[in-house]
Amino acid sequence: MMRTLKAGSRCRGQMLIAFAFGLVALLSAAGLVVDGGNLLIQRRTAQNAADAAALAGARALSVATSASDSTVATAICQYVTSNRAGQAPTAGASFVNSNGTTVGAIGLTSNCQGSQTATTIPATAAGVRVVATIGPFATFFLASAGIPTWTVSAAASSRVTQLASITPGAPIVAGCGGYMYDNTGGSYHGSLNIFVGSTPPRINYTTYMGRTFMLLGRNLSTGSGAYPSNPSCPAASSSAFRGAINPGTAAIMLPADVTTLGGDYDVSPGVQGMCTATGQSIPTSTSSACYLPIPITSASGNGATSAHVITFACMQVFGRGASTSDRWDGVLTAPAKCPVPPNSTFGSWSYSGGSNGILAISLAS
């Protein structure tokens, strides 16, 4: 006797097959969501670690005082290992020049464990490149599809640049770097060379931080009173240089030869204009802080009617005397305190044993 399959049984069989296929699809989708989401998290974590470590390494490079240095590697490892979502990233690093080309390796200990050893900083180093790697880390659902682990990597480069130009828009004060009149405490203490090194000379912030220097005043005239003659500083055609330069409406682009102004010239509009443009109060005493990048001339190469400006020094400027038109002083201050005036530009920088000018550190595209 022949038996027949009932229609209901066929439907139940087909539903089981459809359910099996649907379950596989559902598990696959769950695997993509869970494992894919974890992959994105780890990839983002690796990028955050690389970005933070590159910025920290470039900052350490900008203030390193010796070519044999471990602070760059230490900063990189600190920020790589502190950025994690589960497994800690590992890192590789190198020095790059102003064009982003690798110019030397940065030795890091295995997994950044322990103290970092000194690495020689190349003379052309202008930043660092960091590659952060996380993995291999286990997958969840995708292991059943033959993908038991994943590894992700991310890279970032950060470079140091220095302030290359400012546009005061009016006459402003300038200091003669090789012969700065030390007026700390409101009385004259002699003249100081605030430069260190020679190729190019740098502001010696380490030694002279916090010192007050006369930037503009009638006593700056050559050989006046207690102030000795200084033939290396700029002079003006009609009378001795007293601290005023006139770039007109042009930018002071380093290095620059800027026209000097002789006599008792009022530079308060230029100084106060830059203070206002950077959101600071107009300085009339040390209690009203205004931090500005002040042009500094070389100790030689100045013309009879021009000042050879080679760098900018961060100073807290303020007026002294009966009015702010006849006397300006400046306190040498950490470069990080100086806001950047409008229409300023930054240019290339390379390692030279310490900070040279007012610097900026940024991720390179």
Least reliable range by pLDDT among 26-30, 83-87, 299-303, 322-326: 322-326
What percentage of the chain has pLDDT greater than the value 90? Answer: 48
Asked if residue 354 is part of any domain, the answer here is no
Residue 226 — very low, low, confident or very high, per pLDDT cuts 50/70/90?
A: low
In contact, 84 and 78? CB cutoff 8 Å: no
SS3 227: coil
Per-residue pLDDT for 132 more than 80?
yes
pTM: 0.80
Q: Which residue has the higher pLDDT, 48 or 15?
A: 48
What percentage of the chain has pLDDT greater than the value 70? Answer: 81
Q: Say if residue 111 is in the same domain as residue 157.
A: yes
Q: Say if residue 125 is in the same domain as residue 236.
A: no
Residue 237 — very low, low, confident or very high, per pLDDT cuts 50/70/90?
A: very low
> What's the domain count of the chain?
2
What mean pLDDT value characterizes the chain?
84
Q: Which of 137, 162, 187 is the last residue of a domain?
A: 162
**Where in the sequence is the domain holding 18, given as residue range(s)?**
12-162
- How many Å apart are CA 292 and CA 270, to the nearest integer? 11
- How many Å apart are CA 313 and CA 304, to the nearest integer? 23
If we measure between CA atoms, which residue out of 55, 252, 278, 228 comes closest to residue 171? 252
Per-residue pLDDT for 311 more than 70?
yes
Asked if residue 302 is part of any domain, the answer here is yes
SS3 160: strand
Per-residue pLDDT for 313 more than 70?
yes
* 1-7 mean pLDDT: 53
Q: Say if residue 141 is in the same domain as residue 191.
A: no
Alpha helices for the chain (secondary structure H): 7-63, 71-82, 205-208, 268-277
Q: Say if residue 145 is in the same domain as residue 241.
A: no
Asked if residue 43 is part of any domain, the answer here is yes
Asked if residue 5 is part of any domain, the answer here is no
Residue 240 — very low, low, confident or very high, per pLDDT cuts 50/70/90?
A: low
Q: Say if residue 150 is in the same domain as residue 173.
A: no
Q: Say if residue 64 is in the same domain as residue 175.
A: no
Per-residue pLDDT for 126 more than 70?
yes
Q: Which of 162, 186, 211 is the last residue of a domain?
A: 162
Q: Say if residue 220 is in the same domain as residue 328.
A: yes
Give the pLDDT score at 327.
Answer: 80
Q: Which of 162, 179, 200 is the last residue of a domain?
A: 162
- pLDDT digits 0-9 by tens, 250-291: 999 999 999 988 777 888 889 989 999 999 988 876 667 799
Asked if residue 352 is part of any domain, the answer here is no
If we measure between CA atoms, which residue out of 138, 127, 154, 135 comes closest to residue 49? 154
Q: Say if residue 73 is in the same domain as residue 221.
A: no
* Residues with Cβ within 8 Å of residue 365, at least 6 apart in sequence: none
Q: Say if residue 225 is in the same domain as residue 209.
A: yes
DSSP code of 191? E
Asked if residue 364 is part of any domain, the answer here is no
Asked if residue 136 is part of any domain, the answer here is yes
Q: Say if residue 147 is in the same domain as residue 173.
A: no
Asked if residue 114 is part of any domain, the answer here is yes
Distances in Å between the alpha carbon of 83 and those of 42, 71, 137, 301?
A: 10, 19, 16, 50
Residue 192 — very low, low, confident or very high, per pLDDT cuts 50/70/90?
A: confident
Q: Say if residue 315 is in the same domain as residue 202.
A: yes
- pLDDT digits 0-9 by tens, 23-67: 556 666 666 667 778 888 999 999 999 999 999 999 999 989 889
Q: Say if residue 37 is in the same domain as residue 102.
A: yes
